[in-house]
Structure 1
Amino acid sequence: MLDDVFPLPARALIRQGGRACFYRLVNTSPLLFQVQSGTKIVMADDKPLRFETGAYGLLPDHQPLTMENIPKAPQKYQTLALPIPRQLFEDAYTRMGSIVVPSRPVSASVKCLPKEAAALFDYCCRPGNLASLPGAIAKARLMELATWFALCGAVLGQSHSPRLEDRLRQMIETDPAFDWTLAHAAGAFNMSEATLRRKLAAEQTGFSEVLSDTRMNRALGLIHTTTLPMAQVALEVGYDSPSQFSARFKERFGVSPRHVRSGSGHVERIGAEVEQSGADMLAR
């Protein structure tokens, strides 16, 4: 069980102006979410899960996902997402006893969430509510929420040993604007640069790819959840040049940062699949 004092999850309100499909996004924490406006499509085992306005779902951690967000004019696409530590899901399932946990993490939709559970989701997502509670009570509320979702068909699958790429991504996420180098990462993992390079290559990726992808994913999160000017978003993820940032963002996602936020402009191709690693973010 987690300690009584633990980092409280911060809910995210994701807004998107233009339709876009994002390939190989990786959440570093499991997410419960509700689509509040528009439609979300998540690919799970090559099968699309479709979430219309009002629907609830679960996104796993450390699994590359393809997600398409579709606004419904005149409103923007909007989703409310709540990250919950994996340990709380596992503790909730242990207490349930009879729950069948999938052998691997998968996305899941919720079948008819009861009013009590929907009210609890809203409560946990309201700023300040969980923070005002003793740690043990806040954890109990989140475990209850995970239990409700499980009873309604959304069960978080078993975790696997995190890859070195996942650990590197989590380290970079602590400060995406920092001037990260291979030497920094190797030192943090107590290995030589050659060993780090070799281990990442074995996972079919590399330091530069993970660094760039993590930064772009953080940028996508900032665009989705804040009103920061694009120049500031660029700085937050380590780019001094807004134009260079915009070009890199479009190369990664297939759409411009401004299209994601405002929906302006015409897009012939939606999304851009990448060969290397995925990215993080809240329930896009």
Structure 2
Amino acid sequence: MEHQNFLIPTGALIRQGGRACFRRIVNTSPLLIRVQSGTKIVMADDKPLRLDAGAYGLLPDYQPLTMENIPKAPQQYQTVALPVPRQLFEEAYARMGSIAVPSTPLPARSSHMPDEAAVLFEYCCQPGNLARLPGAIARARLMELITWFALCGAVLGQSRSPRLEDRLRQMIETDPAFGWTLRHAARSFNMSEATLRRRLAAENTGFSEILSDTRMNRALGLVQMTALSMAQVALEVGYDSPSQFAARFKERFGVSPRHVRSGSEPVERIGAEVEHSGADVLSP
């Protein structure tokens, strides 16, 4: 097998038992998704988009999103998500030539996906399928999938200049349970602690805030995508105390991790207007 020069992505099944609205969710890779059951409502820059069961969509990287996942009884909410490196989107669009790339990265729907594209999406999402292929073929399959999404209306917006916050999130994501400190981060970025603190302040954030938020984003994924106990999830993101973890999770997302899995609490909603109107996109 030839050397792989990029990380082979694997699809993940996101399950949710309780309705919940999650604010300021940041993906570090673009996501190609298909809603299997229930409804997803995604908002960025006050522009909401509704994706019902069977719909395909594209979620951008490094764009804070508000996402509401709505189960439809008696089923759980379920979505399949495939993270794809941004560079493959850019290569695919360059080969298409005439594609119009939006200046702002926003969530987008891929309408009227043909059967061939749907089969390719399922193939790419299945664990091990892409990993068994030579690297060049795996890249080609993913770029073909990106091209189908683009032809059906879902195009990834232009990359903005990387922020220090984004680089820091990437670093913490490699091992959320590690005891990260400002000193660790400063050394990794070859700068003094004072410089790192000042540059993060210029982006209206701070090290502790980014550390906590990155860990909670990871915890949400573990709650939705694995069967790990809450104590195990807590350990995976650097919390020795499950009760402290649960309190921080609820502070961050407004619901407990157990509600996300099974549903038990009243929650804030952004999707009521969509549900009643049946419209694809909400008015701001």
TM over 0.5: yes
Deviation per CA, 1:51-87, whole angstroms, max 9, x where unpaired?
Answer: 0000000000000000000000111000000011111
Partner of 2:282: none
Deviation per CA, 1:164-220, whole angstroms, max 9, x where unpaired?
Answer: 000001100111111110000001001110110010011000000000000111100
Shift of 1:47: 2.2
Counterpart residue type for residue 175 of structure 1? D
8 Å CA contact retained: 2:21, 2:268: no
Counterpart residue type for residue 42 of structure 1? V
Q: Which runs of 5+ in 2 are unaligned?
A: 271-284
Partner of 2:129: 129
Partner of 2:274: none
Partner of 1:110: 110
- How far apart in 1 are the matches of 2:260 and 2:159? 31
Partner of 1:266: 265
- How far apart in 1 are the matches of 2:29 and 2:177? 21
Partner of 1:145: 145
Mapping 1:1-284, distance limit 5 Å? 4-263=4-263, 265-269=264-268
8 Å CA contact retained: 1:254, 1:270: no
Counterpart residue type for residue 48 of structure 2? P
Shift of 1:138: 0.5
* More moved, 99-108 vs 54-63: 99-108
- How far apart in 1 are the matches of 2:243 and 2:4? 45
Shift of 1:104: 2.1
Counterpart residue type for residue 104 of structure 2? R
- What percentage of residue pairs aligned between the two structures are identical? 79
- How far apart in 1 are the matches of 2:95 and 2:56? 23
Shift of 1:268: 4.6
8 Å CA contact retained: 1:249, 1:255: yes
Shift of 1:162: 1.0
Report the TM-score, using the length of structure 1 for normalisation: 0.92
8 Å CA contact retained: 1:255, 1:270: no
8 Å CA contact retained: 1:124, 1:142: yes
- How far apart in 2 are the matches of 1:270 and 1:217? 19
Compared CA separation, residues 110 and 258, structure 1 to 2 (3 A): same
- How far apart in 1 are the matches of 2:15 and 2:68? 13
Counterpart residue type for residue 140 of structure 1? A
- How far apart in 1 are the matches of 2:211 and 2:233? 16
8 Å CA contact retained: 1:14, 1:78: yes
- How far apart in 2 are the matches of 1:118 and 1:217? 28
Deviation per CA, 1:12-40, whole angstroms, max 9, x where unpaired?
Answer: 10000000000010100001000001000
CA RMSD, Structure 1 to Structure 2 (Å): 1.2
Partner of 2:279: none
Counterpart residue type for residue 265 of structure 2? H
Q: Residue 157 of structure 2: SS of its match in structure 1?
A: coil
Shift of 1:4: 4.7
Counterpart residue type for residue 65 of structure 1? L
Partner of 1:282: none
8 Å CA contact retained: 1:16, 1:261: yes
Q: Residue 150 of structure 1: SS of its match in structure 2?
A: helix
- How far apart in 2 are the matches of 1:234 and 1:68? 23
Q: Residue 75 of structure 2: SS of its match in structure 1?
A: coil
Would you say how many aligned residue pairs link Structure 1 and Structure 2?
A: 268
Q: Residue 69 of structure 2: SS of its match in structure 1?
A: strand
Partner of 2:276: none
Q: Residue 28 of structure 1: SS of its match in structure 2?
A: coil
